[in-house]
Structures are given as structure tokens and as C-alpha cells.
Structure 1
Amino acid sequence: MNNITISNLDDDIKSRLKKRAEKHGRSLEEEAREILCMALTENHEHPINLATILEERFANLGDLELPEILREPIRTGSTFEE
């Protein structure tokens, strides 16, 4: 595996990366590697699908059916003619 060096990294970004690494129990290098992997593979492996995201988010509610909302007929637009 090849090594890379990132020069001129802003102090704020480095600090935020350190905090994120600590939060996830990783080293700075491991966290940077994970971020790069996620950024470069997420859209290719799992394209964003809002329906799937919502289904997964609310799956723990079980079979929930919402009542059908009755709709009124579409009103005609005003013409403002005399």
C-alpha cells in the first residue's frame, strides 16, 4: 500500500479530524482513511434512494398504514373577466 502526505492542512480541520477520530476510537490515520473510503465509494455502491432511506428509518414501527386522504376536485381558475 502506498503512503500519502497531506501538507498545509488547516489547524481547524486537523483538530476536527482528531476529535472525530477520538469519537470513533480510531487513530488520526485510520479516521482519514475511513473518510476517504466513504467519500469515494458511497455513491457507487449505494446510490441515494429517498424511499429506501425512509423505509429503513421507520422500519421499527411495523406495518403502519396511513388513512387515504380524500381529495376534492380541482377548482377552475379565475379569469377576472366582466
Structure 2
Amino acid sequence: MAQIVVRQLDDTVLEAVKARAVANQRSTEAEVRAILASAVGLSPATGAPHAQQPGRFSDFVGIASQRRGQDEIDAYVASLRNEWER
């Protein structure tokens, strides 16, 4: 497996990733792997394409890049907004 180094990472970004890792009960490194896999439209666990609608706003990038219809994108954004407000 490959390794990368991210230089000049803003401290607030790192703290946000650490907080997200705690919330998801995994290490910071595992959280970064999940974020990267999700950002490119892959399932964090298997490396395979998402089988279902993503559950986080960061996953929206994958939906938008698949050229979905505007109604579908709007519905997804609304569902994220509703989830955030809970």
C-alpha cells in the first residue's frame, strides 16, 4: 500500500479530523483513509464504489460528479440539511 505526507495542513483541519475520528470510533489515520476513499467516490471499507447514498456531506462530491439530475441533488442536499438539524 502507498503512503502520503500532507505538508502545511492547517491545525483546525487536523483537529476537525481528530474529532471526526473520535466520533466514528477509529484512529485519525483510519479516518483520513475513510475521508479520502469517500472523496473519490469509493467505499471506505472495501475500496469499491458506493452501493448506496452517501451519509455525509463530504460524500456529496461523488454524487455531483456523477452528473445526477438537479432534483436528485436537491433532494440529497435537503436530506443532509434535515440530518444536520437533528
Equivalent residue letter for 1:16: A
**Secondary structure of 1:19's aligned partner:** helix
What are the superposed Cα offsets for residues 12-35 of structure 1, whole Å, 9 maximum, x if unpaired? 110000000000011111111111
Larger Rg belongs to: 1
CA apart distance, 1:43: 3.5
* Aligned partner letter, 1:43: I
Percent identity, please. 30
The Cα RMSD (Å) is 2.8
Q: Give the direction of change, closer, same or farther, for the CA distance of 1:48–1:30 in structure 2 (3 Å limit).
A: farther
d(CA) in 2 for partners of 1:7, 1:13: 12
Q: Deviations over 1:18-71 (max 9, x none)?
A: 000000011111111111111101339x764545x95xx7xxxxxxxxxxxxxx
Residue segments in structure 2 that go unaligned for 5+ positions in a row: 42-61, 80-86
What number of residue pairs does the alignment pair up? Answer: 56
Unaligned runs of 5+ in 1: 58-82
Q: Compared with structure 1, are the counterparts of its residues 48 and 29 closer, same or farther at alpha carbon in structure 2 (3 Å cutoff)?
A: farther
- Relative contact order (alpha carbons < 8 A, sep ≥ 6): 1 or 2 greater? 2
Residue 43 of structure 1 corresponds to 63
- Number of the residue aligned with 2:10: 10
